[in-house]
């Protein structure tokens, strides 16, 4: 039986993934709010915070920057990704393999699936291959489960988010990363639908501290396992401050207001 579980990227069963694949997904415009973040080392430095259980990056960034951080940061290899310049039906091609990720020292892999896209069959097939290879390496698999495309009218509706987290369970992910559906109740449905696959919230575009922490608090109260976040951490002038607060909400069960005190 292959090893199944997320221990490599969790702390006390909770997960806080710092994502920094935005240079590919959105372009350098995402680094403008804090210009020094255009240098990947700046964000790797942020990922050394105790609250962070893994950092998700693309292949080129892993090859060039991870060697300096391998003692302090767990690498989550984001194996597919697409640019914002692509205007077709949502599709995210594979950019590296599980074997190569393992060679670079990755402890986990991540993969985006756009269920509902006309490219769903190709992405499911790619995910199948990656998931089985990851099992062979004993690496946990995180699915960025984003229903999107012609088959999806509203990608943050509660039934769509619950469907996304269920798809992650059905296809063999250890962790499902889903958009926040807007309420604790809707998140509970997504958590229930995922069975014993963990569910984490995707950070989204930057909002104020309290609003952000309240959504994370709701996710934790709903039985979620944590967060996979990019902009809401490193687009802040003091990312350590929000990570200190996230540490309290995610691992210590604090409320948003209390965590900010
Ligand atoms: P954020 O917390 O900044 O939203 O990052 C999470 C993430 O999944 C990144 O890994 C990815 O680059 C981005 O969101 C993609 O977001 P979208 O497809 O909605 O533009």
Is the predicted pLDDT of residue 12 greater than 90, yes or no? yes
Assign domain 7-260 to its CATH superfamily.
Aldolase class I (3.20.20.70)
CA of 76 to the centre of ligand 1 (A): 15
Half-sphere exposure of 180 (CA within 13 A, CB side): 24
pTM over 0.85: yes
- % of the chain surpassing 70 pLDDT: 100
CA of 22 to the centre of ligand 1 (A): 7
Could you state, in order of their start, the residue ranges of all structural domains in the chain?
Answer: 7-260
CA of 218 to the centre of ligand 1 (A): 20
Is the predicted pLDDT of residue 88 greater than 90, yes or no? yes
Q: Which residues contact 230 (CB under 8 A, 6 or more apart)?
A: 18, 19, 20, 21, 22, 30, 203
* Per-residue pLDDT, 74: 98
Residue whose token pair is 């802040």: 236
Question: What is the C-alpha separation between 36 and 27, in angstroms, rounded?
Answer: 15
Tell me the pLDDT tens digit for each residue of 149-202: 998 989 999 999 999 999 999 999 999 999 999 999 999 999 999 999 999 999
Tell me the pLDDT tens digit for each residue of 49-87: 999 999 999 999 999 999 999 999 999 999 999 999 999
* Per-residue pLDDT, 1: 67
Best of 27, 30, 160, 202 to mutate for ligand 1, by most ligand atoms within 8 A of CB?
202
Rounded mean pLDDT of the chain? Answer: 97
Question: What is the C-alpha separation between 94 and 188, in angstroms, rounded?
Answer: 31
Residue whose token pair is 């259980």: 53
Please identify which of the residues 14, 59, 78, 177 carries the catalytic annotation. 177
For ligand 1, whether the C-beta of 236 sits within 6 Å is: no
In the chain the beta strands, taken as DSSP E runs, fall at: 15-19, 54-57, 75-78, 108-113, 141-145, 175-178, 198-202, 226-229
Is the predicted pLDDT of residue 2 greater than 80, yes or no? no
Pair 101, 109: CB distance under 8 Å? yes
């Amino acid at each position: 039986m292959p090893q199944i579980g997320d221990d490599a990227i969790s702390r006390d069963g909770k997960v806080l993934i710092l994502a920094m694949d935005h240079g590919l997904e959105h372009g350098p415009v995402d680094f403008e709010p804090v210009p020094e973040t255009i240098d990947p080392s700046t964000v790797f430095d942020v990922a050394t915070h105790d609250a962070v259980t893994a950092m998700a990056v693309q292949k080129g960034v892993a090859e060039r920057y991870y060697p300096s951080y391998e003692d302090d940061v767990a690498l989550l290899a984001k194996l597919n990704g697409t640019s914002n310049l692509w205007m077709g039906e949502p599709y995210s091609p594979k950019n590296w393999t599980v074997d190569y990720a393992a060679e670079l020292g990755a402890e986990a892999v991540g993969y985006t699936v756009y269920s509902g896209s006309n490219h769903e069959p190709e992405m499911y097939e790619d995910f199948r291959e990656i998931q089985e290879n990851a099992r062979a390496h004993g690496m946990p698999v995180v699915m960025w489960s984003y229903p999107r495309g012609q088959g999806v009218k509203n990608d943050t509706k509660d039934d769509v988010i619950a469907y996304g987290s269920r798809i992650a369970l059905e296809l063999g992910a250890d962790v499902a990363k889903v958009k926040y559906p807007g309420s604790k109740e809707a998140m509970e449905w997504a958590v229930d639908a995922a069975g014993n696959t963990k569910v984490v919230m995707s950070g989204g575009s930057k909002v104020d501290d309290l609003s952000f922490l309240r959504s994370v608090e709701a996710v934790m109260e709903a039985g979620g396992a944590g967060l996979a976040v990019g902009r809401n951490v490193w687009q802040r002038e003091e990312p350590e401050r929000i990570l200190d607060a996230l540490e309290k909400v995610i691992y210590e069960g604090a409320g948003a207001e209390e965590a900010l005190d």
